[in-house]
Every structure is written in C-alpha cells, then in structure tokens.
Chain A
C-alpha cells in the first residue's frame, strides 16, 4: 500500500503504539487522583505538555491537553467569544479555515455575532479587523492546499486597531513540521493534534496564553482548569509525547525531495495542474486532473493500492462552495478534478514514482467529465 493521505492522519510510530499499550497496562490509574499511581499516570500528561511547550516555545502550564484539533478549535473559538461578548460583536477568520473553525463561524453567526470571512491575505485581515472585533482566527497552514497564511503579522494589526480580540491560530497542519513559536506569532491560543505527526488519534492540545481568559464549552470535572472536563487519556498523552520526541528527529528536507520528484514528473503530464502555491509547505500538494472527476481518479488509484484524498477529506461531499479551492475562486473543472497528495515522513521517492506511473495511465483508462477541458 502506498499511503499519501498524511494530512488526514498518519500511521503511528511502533514505539508510540507500544508505549500506549504499556501505559494502559501499567499506568492506567485516574491521573487526577491523590495516590501515587495517579502521579505515575499523570507523568505522561506532564511529559506531553513539556514536549509541546518546547516546540511552541511556551511554558508547560500554558498547554491544555484536549481530545484533538477539533475540540481545541471549538474550545478556543466559542470559549473566547463567550468570555468577550461584552467587548464587541465581530469575529474575523479566513475563508480557507478547516471546518472545525469555519463551521464554528457559521454557528457564531447564527448566535448573533457578525462573522467576516477574510481572504487569506494581510490586506484583507487589515480591512476586516476593527475595534469591535473580539475574535480573530487564522490557520498557519491550509490543510487542502498547503498555503501558508501571513499569520505572523496579524497580532500587530489587532494591537494597532485596538481590537479587544482573542487571536487564535489553528496550527494542526503546521505543528512539528515547520517552526511554530507562539512567542513569535503573539497568538492567544494555538491548536494542535497528535495524529498528524505519527501520534495516537483522539488527543491534541490547545496552547492558551497565560492570563488569557476563555469560558469552557463542556461541563463536568476540573481537568485542565475545567476547560477539558473528563478523565485524562494519560496513555494517549504519553504516546503523544513520544511521537513529538521522535518526529523532531526526522529530517523535514525529505518532504522537499518528495515534492521536487512529484513536480518534475508532473511536468510531463499535461492534464495535471498544480493548485498549491509555490511557497506553500512541501508536504501538501493540491492538484487537479483537468477534465476528469477527482473522485474517479481517486478510485482508479485505489485499485492500485495508492491512497490519496479528494481535496480535503472533511469536505469531499460538498463540491464547489464547500471546498477551499471553490472559496478561493477556482473554476469548476479545477474544483471537481482536485486531489490532495500529502506526504508522510516515511514515503519514498519510489512511491512517488509509482503514483506518477499510475497517473500517467489516467487518460487511457478514465472517461473525461469535461470534454472541452
């Protein structure tokens, strides 16, 4: 099998799954309890916080362990709006956000907030942010195209416009792969997920800057200051910590090599259009098989045990308006023919070659949807 859908999820490291099994067996106690085994279980959580803090350049106390990227995004967005609703009414986010942010925007709108979806450019954010803005959200790396948003300079705009805004960054596709310093981003919160970097599913984290107040969105126990109620998944946290440790030893230049090989060979296939920006991250490539239906190509590749995704795995059901390409104004054949190839650290150049060999067969094997493209 050739797995090229690593922005959706990744195969966990063997060491990670082994560690989780061991933790489940030996350190299964409730990490919030008062007795000694609880402290041993809690060690996994503290280790994860330290690892995350060292990558994000914050303190471990500023890291909340959550159930994943979606929970982190929901908590930051609804929690911040709830805490600041008396200071203003405007919410600004980019129009290319992940559904776990974008859909929250729609819900906030239905609750009476004025939600502005900005273009992923600095000028558009500059225009949208005013002194009644209470929340600004921007992703560091777009999950469908690999586009990098100019997130570093948004904090400056918020401050200059004297907006009482919480600044949230969705860093799920960036964490561990490109430099992510919350000190440099000057954000109030930053969400991450473990399974994007060969960690377990069902666990993630939210950096929440010290002193920044948000309200909780789930209610129950006191875990993570009441922000993430529910018994800790300490084995997964230990696995998360291990995954970060191992992932940091990987060589990110490998992604560049995979991308270069793909682009070299794609140049020989005239029906392939590259949608990802040249200065995007190297591990996400959005392409369109012009004239073809992306879904058909996907299943054709599936027959050869090569797995890629159609646009974003989360939005493959909704065609134009639902996809990032559509929102960025691409035409219908581009949107309908789109595939996302996302590299994992263990993909090889041979696997890229196998993908390209398979794609080269597409014109001979698949009927076109748009005859004149």
Chain B
C-alpha cells in the first residue's frame, strides 16, 4: 500500500507564460520545507504535485508541512495502486479504515482523466461504495451531506484513492514577489502581518527593536520564538535585532512627552529603511490597524510614512483585533504573543499621546535630536542577526 500526498496548485494556475517560474519556485519551497524528513520523489502533472517518500518518511508530518507551503489550494493524503478495478477495490477498505471508522456516512466520487479505463465514473463510484459498505457495516451512504467524501482518481500513471482532503495554505509561492522587512514587536499583530504578506509571496526579514534594560532577555526570547514560529511558513527567515535604547532615551530626554510615540515610530521607520536597503528588500511591513492606538490614527500614520521613501505595507489596516487574533491562533503565534513581557513599544509611553499630531510640531521636537547619529549607531552598534 503506497501512501503519497497530492498537493493541488492554487492561484498560480492562472498565470500565463511565466507560469513555469512559479511552478519551480513552489516545488523548491516544498522541497526545502520537507528536506529534513528524508528523500522524496516530487513531480508535477496536471496542476497537482505528487509527493512520494523514497525513504519511509513520516507522511503525517509531510502532510502537515505541505499544508503550510504557500501556493497550494488543497492537500490530500492518498494511496496509489494499479489502474484496475481489482486493485482499487482491494486497496480502498484497507487504506481508508482509519478515516471511515470515525464517521457514520460517506459518498464516493470518481474522476477518470484516463478515458481508456473501462469503467465510467458513476460505475467506479458504485463498485467502490458497495465494497466499502461490505467492509464497514456501520457506514451509510449520504450523497448530500456525507461526513466524508472518498475520491477515486484514475490518472495517467495510476489510480489514487483519498478521503482526507484539507485546505492548503493558499497564496503565492514564498519569495515569488520579492523581499520585504517585517517590523516584529512581540505583540499579536506584527506576526500576523508578516504571515499575510509572506502568503502573497514576499520573502521576509524580521526587524526587532530591543531596549535593554527597559526590556529584558525574556522579551527578546519571545520575539525569537515568534520568528521561529513564522519560519514554519517563511523558511529561512532571519531576525535582525536593533539596540534601540539610546534613541528612546534621547527622545525621552529632549522631546515633549505627548509626541513620544510618533517620534519613536518615525525613528523606527528610519532605522528600518536603512536595513531595508541593506537587505535589498523592496518594502517594509507593519502590523498597524487603523485607529487601534494613538500611533495608528490616520494623522500619525501619515507622519510615520512621510519620514522615508519606503513602500510600507500594512495588511491589517482594515481588520478588527478579533479578526487578527483569529489568524494569530490559526498560525500558532498567539500563545507566544500574549506572554506578559515589556516590549519596545511600551517603554516610555505617554499618558496622553497626541492622536492628531502635525508635521510642524513633530519637526520642531525632532530638531532637538541628533537623528542621523542615532540612526547610524542603531544600525551599527550591538547589532545582531539571529538565524
């Protein structure tokens, strides 16, 4: 009984003449994400990627990882046999036992892309359904609302049987749209923002602002953990840690308290812009959502944007906290995000921040700072990259 995984390509099937570029990238990403699990035979035909283990890999784990590779619409755990009714009927009860024991009703669907196969699709369905009813007396057929749909596909190289079909990660192959830097704070929003842009094919580099002694080792560890969790979707993502204490202290010492947050955000954008250029990325990604806090009002965002020429992507801008939390739970970063450690954004927060700051006020306050020097030292001193 040979087990294999069928991963159905998503959006990239709509691509035109450059389709092969996306296909190659998708397969490269898939290979990379399962490389440590053993040797595989991976092939692409009819918009489906076939994954077969050559070294007895744990297929459940391969399945779980494939589900996290951007670019697939659906992933099926399938079993392959010869293209004959005899082998299909022999294999079906055996390979589906685990799934069918858990359910009460089922139906069978057949796809016959090899039209030379002697039985037509409805005939295949009837035969397989009858065989399964015989083997599992507790089952009933329900063609409208079955607990499980068993699919039999008769394709060019063999017949495939599967009942477990789960949605893939969707989106575009990771890296197919270029690179960007993600500002990763340690809260709930920024990992979700990163995930969403990675899903659209951006390769990410994380940037974290670290403010010892105001934020501790555990706060940094938390962000490293978040980056690791994102790596499940963003293979090889690196985290750049910037020491930000000097800049924050300078703002506290010289600027008027009500502008602290916006000035700090502008400093972060300046530093991030330098790192964006350094890592040859094309955009900055932030987890801002309109109006969520004082630094995320329209006026404040306008001011944070105007400080650099970077394209700033804010995938969460129109989302409610609850929607963000839902995604965060689904991708597995929520539990880490809610660990209760101070992060850089909560250091020196003013009691009453300005929600409608003006450029004139901000520029007046910023004139009191050695901006160039602060940015330069943040980018060079104590700077570390965590892989």
Contacts and interface: CB of A to CB of B under 8 A. Distances in A.
A159 B60 CA distance: 19
B218 A34 contact: yes
Interface string A17-57: 00000000000000000111001000000000000000001
A156 B98 contact: yes
A36 B217 contact: yes
A58 to B, nearest CB: 11
A160 B61 CA distance: 24
Contacts of A85: none
Interface in B133-155: 138
Q: Provide the main secondary structure of the chain B interface.
A: loop
A57 B101 CA distance: 23
Given A34-B216, A36-B217, A61 B335 contact: yes
Nearest to B64: A183
A160 B60 contact: no
A160 B221 contact: no
B104 interface: yes
Contacts of A35: 216-217
B218 A159 contact: no
B143 to A, nearest CB: 20
A156 B101 contact: yes
A39 B222 CA distance: 12
A36 B213 CA distance: 12
Nearest to B221: A39
A156 B58 CA distance: 21
B322 interface: no
Interface in A273-298: none
A183 B98 CA distance: 13
Nearest to A61: B335
B106 to A, nearest CB: 12
B307 interface: no
B102 A159 contact: yes
Interface residues of B, number: 16
A39 B218 contact: yes
B103 A39 contact: no
A153 interface: yes
A160 B216 contact: no
Interface in B289-312: none
A36 B216 CA distance: 9
Contact of B101 (A34, A160, A183, A184): A160
Nearest to A34: B216
Interface string A120-155: 000000000000000000000000000000000101
Contacts of A184: 60
Interface in A168-201: 183-184
A35 B221 CA distance: 12
Contacts of B104: 160
20 contacts: A34-B217, A34-B218, A34-B341, A35-B216, A35-B217, A39-B217, A39-B218, A39-B221, A57-B58, A57-B61, A153-B101, A155-B102, A157-B101, A159-B102, A159-B103, A160-B101, A160-B103, A160-B104, A184-B60, A210-B332
Interface of B: 58, 60-61, 98, 101-104, 138, 216-218, 221, 332, 335, 341
- Give the 6 A-B CB pairs with smallest separation, nearest first: A156-B101, A159-B102, A156-B102, A34-B216, A160-B102, A183-B60
Given A34-B218, A34-B341, A159-B102, 16 more contacts: A34-B216, A34-B217, A35-B216, A35-B217, A39-B217, A39-B221, A61-B335, A153-B101, A155-B102, A157-B101, A159-B103, A160-B101, A160-B102, A160-B104, A160-B138, A184-B60
